[in-house]
Structure 1
Amino acid sequence: MSIQQSDVLYTAVATAENGRDGRVATNDGKLDVVVNPPKEMGGSGEGTNPEQLFAAGYSACFQGALGVVARQEGADISGSTVTAEVGIGKNADGFGIIVKISAKIPNVSAATAKELIEKAHQVCPYSKATRGNITVDLDVA
């Protein structure tokens, strides 16, 4: 289900110069980083890269979704963390990405943690945006 322009609450704007080997900055000046391909892809590895930026955004968004689900379920997720691992590699169309989401939720059972992350995966906007397009594995750490 898509949202209408009138329903947008916030829009982030970023501009890239020179693609994967340049600079990315937001229009508000809060983010301004050098991007370089990682050494594994022939780059210098000196700056950050799009996969790291995607992992940062996805992990933060998923943690937020986990909080929403936990409140609905009455679960205590204090002290929890969400880690997103974003891999890039060659596929039939050129390149593609794969994601592994790992959640540590110390105050609930493993079964409850698994249920919570599966529900969070249904409501997280990043998960919704990528569903059916990339492989996303969920793991309780």
Structure 2
Amino acid sequence: MDKHRNDSLCTLDFSPILYVLRARNPSLSITFNLSFDTILWYHWDHGEWLEFAGRAVPWPTDEHQPMGYVDISDLMAPPSEDDVAYVTEHLEEYWTEKKMPQNRNIRDGLLDESPSNWRVLAKNYAVKEPLLLRCRMKEQFEVYRRYRMGVGEKDRGE
């Protein structure tokens, strides 16, 4: 995945697919890699840096160096019982409201770091609450599964 926007990581499009793939083939190894290169490159080369405090500023002087992709597969793992317990106890507001907390600002947080630090910090900027993300992904799959079962029953006339 190459993130193009600063908002939270959206898994709604693919989380049900992950669960179906894992159920069909438990030995299947699925990896997720994430990059912020598109976001960081845009802001690195953007004209906002050329004008600062009413005068020309020659920063950044270096060419943008890509961070590449970072493995975030553990963020996409099914939630454990401990994950669910933590989310229901400490993140009740987000769990009951069916929302994710505002993500850390990728541009503001990473632009003054080096590409090697971007790689180290990537998981922290991918999503603010990884355990909540895992629980949400499972919930998204359950909604999908109920919908598919409901559609199947209607199609059979049941």
TM > 0.5 between the two?
Answer: no
Q: TM-score, normalised by structure 2?
A: 0.30
- The structure in which a higher percent of residues are helix is 2
**Higher alpha-carbon Rg:** 2
Q: TM-score, normalised by structure 1?
A: 0.32
Considering Cα pairs closer than 8 Å and 6+ residues apart, tell me whether 1 or 2 has the greater RCO: 2
- The structure in which a higher percent of residues are strand is 1
